[in-house]
C-alpha cells in the first residue's frame, strides 16, 4: 500500500525537489508492511491461540512483474510448539486489459523448530475492476500431512469516502484425505471496515467459520472480532 498523503511545507524553490522525491518513492521496487493484530487468522482459524501478534513482510518486484517476498509472524500452537512462522513467496503479476489483473505465486510456509509442518502452496488470484477477486490455492501436501489441499475463495473491497473501505470474503478449504489432515472440509468468511491514515491502515473485522471447523478445532475456529493496525510504504 502506497502513502495515502504526502505533506510538504516547502517554499516554491524546493517544490521541484519534493516532486522528484515523491516520484522516486512511488517507483521503488521494494515494498514493506509491519502490523500488530489482536489475532492471526489463516482461513478463519487462529494461529496464535486467540492472542495478539506482530507480523511483517518485505517484497521486491521487478518491472516485468516478477516478485519475491518474505513474511514473518508470531504463532502459538501450544507448549513446545513453534513460536515463529516464516513464509517465502515467488510470484508473477500482470494486467490483462484495463480491468483484470492476474497473479500466480508459489508460497513456502515454514515453522521454526517444526520442519514437519512445512509445506508449499500454489496460489492464483484474479482481480476484477480493482474490486472483486477470485482465489484458488493448491497444495500437494498440505501441512505436510500427505493430503492434497484445495482452497477456493472470493472477496471484494469497496472504497468509501474519507479514506474508508469495506471488504468481505468467503472461502472453502477442501482436503482429499480428511483423515490425514484430521480436519473435514470447511468454510470461512469475514467482513471488515478499514481506514487509511497516511502510512497507517486500521482495520476492524468480524471473522468466522462453519460448524464443521468449530466442532473439530474448538475455540481457535470460533467467530471473532479482530483489530489490525498496519504501517506500509
Residue 3 lies in a domain: no
Question: Tens digit of pLDDT for each residue in 151-208?
Answer: 999 999 999 999 999 999 999 999 999 999 999 999 999 999 999 999 999 999 999 9
Kindly report, residue by residue over 119-152, the tens digit of the pLDDT.
Answer: 999 999 999 999 999 999 999 999 999 999 999 9
Per-residue pLDDT of 45-67, as tens digits, reads 999 999 999 999 999 999 999 99
What is the pLDDT, as a whole number, of residue 78? Answer: 87
pLDDT-based confidence at 16, cuts 50/70/90?
very low
Element (H, E) at 73: strand 66-74
Q: What is the number of alpha carbons within 13 Å of residue 34 lying toward its C-beta?
A: 1
Q: How many domains does the chain have?
A: 1
63 three-state secondary structure: coil
pTM of the model: 0.86
Report the C-alpha gap between 233 and 218 in whole angstroms.
Answer: 37
pLDDT of 21 higher than 70: no
**Are the C-beta atoms of residues 227 and 206 closer than 8 Å to each other?**
no
Domain boundaries, position 62: 28-232
In-domain check, residue 8:
no
Predicted confidence band of residue 25 (pLDDT cuts 50, 70, 90):
low
Looking at the DSSP assignment, which residues form a beta bridge with residue 107? 89, 121
In this prediction, residue 27 has a pLDDT band, given cuts at 50, 70 and 90, of: confident
Four-point Cα dihedral 227, 83, 189, 94, nearest 10: 90
What is the CATH classification number for the domain harbouring 77? Answer: 2.40.160.40
Domain assignment present for 6: no
Amino acid at each position: 500500500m502506497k502513502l495515502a498523503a504526502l505533506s510538504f511545507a516547502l517554499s516554491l524553490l524546493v517544490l521541484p525537489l519534493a516532486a522528484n522525491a515523491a516520484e522516486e518513492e512511488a517507483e521503488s521496487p521494494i515494498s514493506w508492511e509491519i502490523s500488530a493484530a489482536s489475532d492471526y487468522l489463516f482461513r478463519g482459524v487462529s494461529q496464535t491461540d486467540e492472542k495478539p501478534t506482530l507480523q511483517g513482510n518485505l517484497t521486491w518486484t521487478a518491472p516485468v512483474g516478477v516478485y519475491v517476498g518474505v513474511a514473518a509472524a508470531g504463532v502459538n500452537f501450544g507448549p513446545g510448539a513453534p513460536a515463529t512462522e516464516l513464509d517465502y513467496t515467488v510470484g508473477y503479476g500482470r494486467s490483462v486489459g484495463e480491468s483484470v489483473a492476474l497473479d500466480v505465486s508459489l508460497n513456502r510456509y515454514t515453522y521454526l523448530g517444526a520442519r514437519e509442518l512445512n509445506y508449499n502452496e500454489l496460489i492464483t488470484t484474479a482481480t476484477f475492476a480493482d474490486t472483486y477477486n477470485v482465489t484458488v490455492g493448491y497444495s500437494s501436501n498440505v501441512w505436510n500431512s500427505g493430503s492434497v489441499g484445495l482452497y477456493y475463495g472470493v472477496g471484494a473491497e469497496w472504497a468509501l469516502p474519507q479514506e474508508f473501505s469495506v471488504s468481505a470474503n468467503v472461502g472453502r478449504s477442501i482436503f482429499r484425505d480428511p483423515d490425514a489432515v484430521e480436519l473435514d472440509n470447511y468454510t470461512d468468511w469475514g467482513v471488515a471496515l478499514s481506514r487509511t491514515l497516511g502510512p497507517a491502515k486500521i482495520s476492524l473485522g468480524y471473522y468466522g467459520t462453519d460448524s464443521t471447523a468449530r466442532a473439530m478445532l474448538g475455540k481457535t475456529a470460533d467467530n471473532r472480532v479482530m483489530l489490525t493496525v498496519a504501517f506500509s510504504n
